[in-house]
Structure 1
Amino acid sequence: MAEAIVDLDAVARNTRLLSGLAAPRAATMAVVKANGFGHGLLPVARTVLASGASWLGVTSLAEARQLRDAGIDAPVLAWLYGTGDDFAWAARHGVDLSVSTPAHLDAMPPGVTVHLKVDTGLTRNGVAWSDWPDLVRRAAELERQGTLRVRGVWSHLASADDPGNPSVPRQLERFEEALAVAAKAGLTPTLRHLANSAGIVDVPAAHYDLVRAGLALYGVEPIDGVVAGLRRAMTLRASAVNVKRVPPGTGVSYLHQYVTDRDTTVVLVPAGYADGVPRLLSNRGAVAIGGVRCPIAGRVAMDQFVVDAGDLDVALGDEIVLFGPGDGAEPTVEEWAAWAQTNPHEILTGIGARVPRTYIGNDAAPSGVARTYIGNDAAPSGGVAEQSREEQPHG
């Protein structure tokens, strides 16, 4: 079956690199939402906190609960929910909450700490500009009353991954205006944050007090053509489960949309779109077998797809690298994203729950000894117990 190998040393290295770009002006928030971009929430969270990040960013209160239930007590910001969620739990467990509408501010319970999010031009989440003056006045009043604490003011860049895009300076200007309005209302937030991964790399003016590292933590360069020196952390691999030699004119997979033009070897890979292999890779994508790139032949199915290996000598059980760090012939996640007409975020977060994650690397091991962790932190239980290779030889 397919297996995702997550290199925690790469995550640690990327965290140190990004934190170094932001320092000494700004601290680093590691965004570990969506099961750590598919890499595993808890192993990634522990790694980044040991490697220079001081905050964790998640989407939901459910993700924040996983962190707290695992004993991770670092500062956490959660930012996407309805007005009826259990905000009192967040207040009790020291989870900061984002406020993006007046209704959310009204729903905050006593004792909660908030970051007010203003829409500076992304036109997605965040308080509408017309509502911002009233919201900060109300937040300042609640803070004076001791009902809540306003720790942060923040926003999100729309086009930092497009160097020279005029929306970036416009958003910076609008964010400064928002901070001035908040100050006039009597707010003195200790954390102002605007920069995402691309902003960390290319927009130093957006660093402020805190930067939010997302995709870059996992080794994907956030700006095409700009090399920050990141290391891709995930390798997706499988083993050949069927190998056949077929003649020219052989139709492969559903509807025979691939027909062999010579004597060739076809190899069956036990992973499909239920595991996160996009159907758009049908007749477009490639994998690596024995250090050689081989095209995907025919349609990707739910649980499997076929590769045309030509005259390679392939045997049952041979390793197939679907994507990896790009050190050899294997495709990268960026190439997979291009073939699937999407972005690397979707490929990484789409790797399914039935694909086990195996963790390698020294950096996150408390003893400093390389450990391989078995399990999937997306499991409803919050993740299975971590075991080292010494304790789990078959891992």
Structure 2
Amino acid sequence: MYPARAVVDLTAIRDNVRSLATHAPTAQVMAVVKADAYGHGLVSAARAAIAGGATWLGTAQVSEALALRAAGVHDVRVLTWLYAPGAPLREVVEADIDVSVAAGWALEEVAAAARAAGRTARVHLKVDTGLGRNGLTPPQLVELLAPALRAEAEGAVQVVGLWSHLAFADEPEHPAVRAQAEVFADAVRTVESAGIRLEVRHLANSAATLTTPAVHYDLVRPGLAVYGLSPVPQLGGPEAFGLTPAMTLEAELATVKAVPAGHGVSYAHQYVVPQDTVLGVVPLGYSDGIPRHASGDAVRVGGPVQVGGRRLGVAGRVCMDQVVVDLGPGATEQAGDRVVLFGTGADGGPTAQDWALAADTISYEIVTRLGSRVPRVHVGDLGGQESAVDAVGGAGRPSEVGAAQVAG
């Protein structure tokens, strides 16, 4: 038993993918399920995305891709892209997983893994078009083409994709978006002129999927938007793009008590009640992923919560395992009553974006930082494709085993 849970609506994930497909009708959809599907539960979220029409899944880590295959997710292509020398690439190749190559040593290790596995590895070349992160610079890409073609001739690899990532996709009018798109187009021409036949070219993340059709190419890679959150909140919330937040973080009040005016609340008495009031303890804290930066004081309202239909804020400092809420004079709530920290916002309650604003961060961080001890409870009707228990998760989190359920 845990007095809090993240309820994940798999139907919302399915429908979000369907909506994203309408924003990019000329491209396939890769649902990015890295980081335990942005905290939503790797395997269940992946299956929901497939039910919505995703034909690819994307994972950053090799372990995530292998976990999908181990859980029986075999009916879509899976791409993994972030690894260091010595990664278990033979297992990746044997599991029929596409693998990104972002350096010369990576091509060598993938080819060696393919030889050991006795099968051809499918490779996507990653080009750094201006983000300055992982990927081959354009000159490095040119240098890699000859060894890539030799590996293809040998049958060790097949270069099926070319891809990159945008630095300013959440600012679609930023000149860097066009600049990177031009570098990517040049890279496509360079690779194809060398004789490599690309199956997919992909550049668009969630923001570009929703706002920049010119870079949709053959495949789009939405991540955050799959889970119903807006990657461009300054341009519109989820509803503006036909999305529904999939996660609701809720808890039960642990204790409720009356205190007199002037009573300090939480560490260092950062908040002192201005009047006789009622305090409620919510059993979630920073070890569960509640950002300490969302603490509240006499001037600044803390992270938002909804109690009894009322929208309140965290009072005082966020602690490791709990936060306190000033329920107000005459409050009638009792221990066990439901508290919503964030959800769809449809009833006026707080959202992950509201918490992002309270903590001066982004909604990506709010959902992905939820701790492993918070159970993910999966609900929704996927027409017989539900996953009753997400037993694998991003890292085999034990809290999901026996805790994730599906209704409908």
**Fold shared, TM-score > 0.5 on shorter chain:** yes
Could you tell me whether the CA contact under 8 Å between 1:353 and 1:376 is conserved in 2? no
Equivalent residue, structure 2, for 1:384:
401
1:51 is aligned with what amino acid?
G
Could you tell me whether the CA contact under 8 Å between 1:157 and 1:194 is conserved in 2? yes
Distance 1:70 1:196 in 2: 26
Deviation track 1:177-196 (CA, whole Å, cap 9, x = no partner) reads 00111112111111100000
Equivalent residue, structure 2, for 1:69:
70
Equivalent residue, structure 2, for 1:30:
31
Equivalent residue, structure 2, for 1:313:
332
1:295 is aligned with what amino acid?
G
Equivalent residue, structure 2, for 1:329:
348
Distance 1:38 1:387 in 2: 13
Q: 5 Å matches for 1:275-354? A: 275-283=288-296, 284-311=302-329, 312-354=331-373
Equivalent residue, structure 2, for 1:17:
19
77, 81, 84: which is aligned to 1:82?
A: 84
Structure 1 pair 42–86 and aligned structure 2 pair: CA distance change class (3 A): same
- Give the paired residue count: 387
Deviation track 1:232-284 (CA, whole Å, cap 9, x = no partner) reads 00000000110011111000001111001011111000000000101011102
The farther-off stretch of 28-37 and 338-347 is: 338-347
Shift of 1:112: 1.2
Identity %: 44
Q: Secondary structure at the match of 1:169?
A: helix
Q: 5 Å matches for 1:100-111? A: 100-108=102-110, 109=112, 110=114, 111=120
Question: Which segments of 5 or more consecutive residues in structure 2 lack a partner in the other structure?
Answer: 115-119, 297-301
Matched, 1:247 2:264: no
261, 265, 281: which is aligned to 2:274?
A: 261
Equivalent residue, structure 1, for 2:299:
none
Distance 1:376 1:273 in 2: 24
Equivalent residue, structure 1, for 2:222:
213
The farther-off stretch of 374-383 and 119-128 is: 374-383
Equivalent residue, structure 2, for 1:355:
374
Could you tell me whether the CA contact under 8 Å between 1:292 and 1:329 is conserved in 2? no
Equivalent residue, structure 1, for 2:180:
171
**Could you say what the CA RMSD is over the residues aligned between the two structures, in angstroms?**
1.9
2:34 is aligned with what amino acid?
K
Could you tell me whether the CA contact under 8 Å between 1:358 and 1:372 is conserved in 2? no
Distance 1:175 1:149 in 2: 20
2:401 is aligned with what amino acid?
V
Could you tell me whether the CA contact under 8 Å between 1:361 and 1:372 is conserved in 2? no
Could you tell me whether the CA contact under 8 Å between 1:357 and 1:375 is conserved in 2? no
Shift of 1:215: 0.2
Deviation track 1:205-254 (CA, whole Å, cap 9, x = no partner) reads 11111100100000111112232121000000000110011111000001
Could you tell me whether the CA contact under 8 Å between 1:219 and 1:231 is conserved in 2? yes
Structure 1 pair 378–153 and aligned structure 2 pair: CA distance change class (3 A): closer
97, 100, 117: which is aligned to 1:98?
A: 100
Structure 1 pair 186–18 and aligned structure 2 pair: CA distance change class (3 A): same
Shift of 1:376: 7.4
Structure 1 pair 390–16 and aligned structure 2 pair: CA distance change class (3 A): closer
Structure 1 pair 42–245 and aligned structure 2 pair: CA distance change class (3 A): same
Shift of 1:22: 1.4
Distance 1:67 1:92 in 2: 13
Question: Which segments of 5 or more consecutive residues in structure 1 lack a partner in the other structure?
Answer: none
Distance 2:385 2:16 in 1: 19
Q: 5 Å matches for 1:146-165? A: 146-165=155-174
Equivalent residue, structure 2, for 1:39:
40
1:281 is aligned with what amino acid?
A
Deviation track 1:79-130 (CA, whole Å, cap 9, x = no partner) reads 0001211111111110011000111112113321110000001110110222
Deviation track 1:308-333 (CA, whole Å, cap 9, x = no partner) reads 11133111100000111001232110
Structure 1 pair 160–388 and aligned structure 2 pair: CA distance change class (3 A): closer
Matched, 1:238 2:247: no
Give the TM-score normalised by structure 2.
0.91
Q: Secondary structure at the match of 1:179?
A: helix
Misfit runs of 4+, over 6 Å: none
Give the TM-score normalised by structure 1.
0.94
Equivalent residue, structure 2, for 1:136:
145
Distance 1:386 1:243 in 2: 27
Q: Secondary structure at the match of 1:237?
A: strand
